[in-house]
Chains A and B, each alone.
Chain A
Amino acid sequence: MKMEISEQDGVTRVGLVGRLDTPGVDAIETRLTAACVPGAARAIVDLSGVEFIGSLGLRMFITIARALTRKHGKMVLYAPQGFVAQVLETASLGDIIPVQPDAAAALAAVKS
């Protein structure tokens, strides 16, 4: 699992490529949490390069999103593909964390 984090116009942008299985989550969770939570970030996460997500991946996003909400930050996921989109729909993750189809919609949602 590869992760790139950048900041632009007050929005933390996260790009993920690979599998969000147990080792994938282990590889990025601490860094992603550190990049988002302490600064109460407004963060958008690009899922277009994620080919698999398991329950630990869902748990990671929910935990970070809830921590952000408590600090008046926000996380929006966008562009889930195929299998990952199906998993997010089955889990009704959109009821917990906003999921948008593309970067533009995610940016609008995170700033609102």
Chain B
Amino acid sequence: MERSGSTVLVKHTTVSEAAALRDDLRSYLVVIEHGEIVARIAVGLETLTVGRDPARHIVISDEKVSRLHLQVAMLAGEVVVEDLGSSNGTFMDGLRLTTPTVLPPERWVQLGSRLLKHERRSHREMEREAELHRDLEKARAYVQSLLPPPVRVGDVRTDWFHRPSAALGGDAFSYGPLDRDHLVAYLVDVSGHGVEAAMHSVSVLNVMRQKALSGVDFRDPGQVLEGLNANFQMEDHGGLFFTLWYGVYSRSSRRLRYASAGHHAGLLFSGGPAPEHLRTKGPMIGAVPGQRYTGAETSVPPGALLYLFSDGAFEVTSPEGRQLGLEEFIPLLGGPGAGTPGEAERVYVAVRKQAKPGPLADDFSVLAVSFD
């Protein structure tokens, strides 16, 4: 299997056609990079070598991976990994491997920033998984198509990065003009993640895009939250609720009206020592019938930056197992490069560096809005 433009090249080993068609379980080595599966190779009779050198069976372009780093072999039905004297080591459960070690199914080793995970699957399972993956990819592409493109020119510009923790997530956001003077931006985070949460987030997004809330003035954040709450009570929607941050900016007055429902603050950086936390009190949408929501307002000076983000962006666990939060996340915002294209993705990379290896536990969304 080869992926052009990626950092991982895999050379096939010979696999018996008869064996491939049976339902017998086979071992696979899965290469995981930044929480994403980038390669899967069957572990067979041939010993697999892993390293930075292009001659290896699995090539990993990572400066912390040695040219010949590791070998993986099948011995007596077990997958055995052996570090071949690498400079930076191979780790399992945080311990550096010094001898050949059995890698049980669903466990992994780490080399550099990559994880190699052992999976046992039948060929039929692999085919079903591939089909499901294709369907999920189509669904993911559809959800992604609902997110508006970044705005790179004009007096109000945006940049964003979105990475669901599973193929589909419950985060969604949007922004755009309400009229000549008013711009709106909002971020939705449905409880949980996966297909169910994604479907709910799409429903909410479509109601918002079509302004399908009867009697609601979309320039009034309180009314919008009340309208959504009336239409999305959790008993009517599979027990799902969502948090929301909603804001409306007036170009003529440079005032930002906002309201939040169970959501942490949006952060407004205006050149001062610390950002302004923009949040109003109120429970999640769908949790309390008839809940009243009241908005608040603030001024947006020239050069200000507004960040909206889901809790998956800052509720991460460090490699030592410590729960991180907003205190570790806020310093990643508003620094050099703030307000420039690609900033939101750089924030994602910085968060990934703070977090333990493996996929983030929750969906990651960051939206940055720059005001001239």
Q: Contact residues of A with B, CB < 8 Å?
A: 21-22, 51-52, 54-56, 58-59, 62-63, 83, 86, 90-93, 95-96
Provide the bound-state CA to CA distance between A55 and B194, in Å: 13
Return chain B residues, CB-CB under 8 Å to A90.
Answer: 262-264, 279
Contact of A59 among B241, B279, B281, B288 (CB under 8 A): B241
Provide the bound-state CA to CA distance between A54 and B282, in Å: 17
Contact of A93 with B283 in the complex, beta carbons under 8 Å: yes
Contact of A55 among B192, B264, B288, B323 (CB under 8 A): B192
Q: Contact residues of B with A, CB < 8 Å?
A: 170, 189-192, 234, 239-241, 243, 262-264, 279, 281-284, 287-288, 291, 311, 315, 323, 325, 361-362
Contact of A59 with B239 in the complex, beta carbons under 8 Å: yes
B189, B234, B282, B283 — most chain A CB neighbours (10 Å): B283
Provide the bound-state CA to CA distance between A91 and B260, in Å: 10
Provide the bound-state CA to CA distance between A104 and B282, in Å: 27
Provide the bound-state CA to CA distance between A59 and B240, in Å: 8
Contact of A54 with B281 in the complex, beta carbons under 8 Å: no
A and B contact pairs by CB, cutoff 8 A, 5 listed:
A52-B323, A56-B191, A90-B263, A91-B262, A91-B284
Chain A's nearest CB lies how many Å from the CB of B193?
A: 8
Return chain B residues, CB-CB under 8 Å to A59.
Answer: 191-192, 239-241
The residue in chain A whose Cβ has the minimal distance to the Cβ of B281 is A92
Return chain B residues, CB-CB under 8 Å to A62.
Answer: 234, 241, 287
Contact of A83 with B288 in the complex, beta carbons under 8 Å: no
Interface of A is mostly: helix
The 9 closest A-B pairs by CB, nearest first: A55-B191, A92-B283, A91-B262, A59-B191, A95-B283, A90-B264, A83-B323, A56-B192, A96-B287
Contact of A51 with B323 in the complex, beta carbons under 8 Å: yes
Return chain A residues, CB-CB under 8 Å to B190.
Answer: 55
The residue in chain B whose Cβ has the minimal distance to the Cβ of A25 is B192
Chain A's nearest CB lies how many Å from the CB of B285?
A: 11
Return chain A residues, CB-CB under 8 Å to B288.
Answer: 95-96
Chain A's nearest CB lies how many Å from the CB of B25?
A: 24
Contact of B191 among A58, A83, A95 (CB under 8 A): A58
The residue in chain B whose Cβ has the minimal distance to the Cβ of A58 is B191
Chain B's nearest CB lies how many Å from the CB of A70?
A: 10
Given A55-B192, A62-B287, A92-B284, 8 other A-B residues pairs in contact with their CB atoms under 8 A: A55-B190, A59-B191, A59-B239, A62-B234, A83-B323, A90-B263, A91-B283, A95-B288
Return chain B residues, CB-CB under 8 Å to A56.
Answer: 191-192
Contact of A91 among B234, B243, B291, B323 (CB under 8 A): B243
Chain B's nearest CB lies how many Å from the CB of A97?
A: 10
Chain A's nearest CB lies how many Å from the CB of B37?
A: 19
Provide the bound-state CA to CA distance between A91 and B325, in Å: 15
Contact of B315 with A54 in the complex, beta carbons under 8 Å: yes
Provide the bound-state CA to CA distance between A110 and B361, in Å: 34
Chain A's nearest CB lies how many Å from the CB of B204?
A: 15
Chain A's nearest CB lies how many Å from the CB of B62?
A: 29
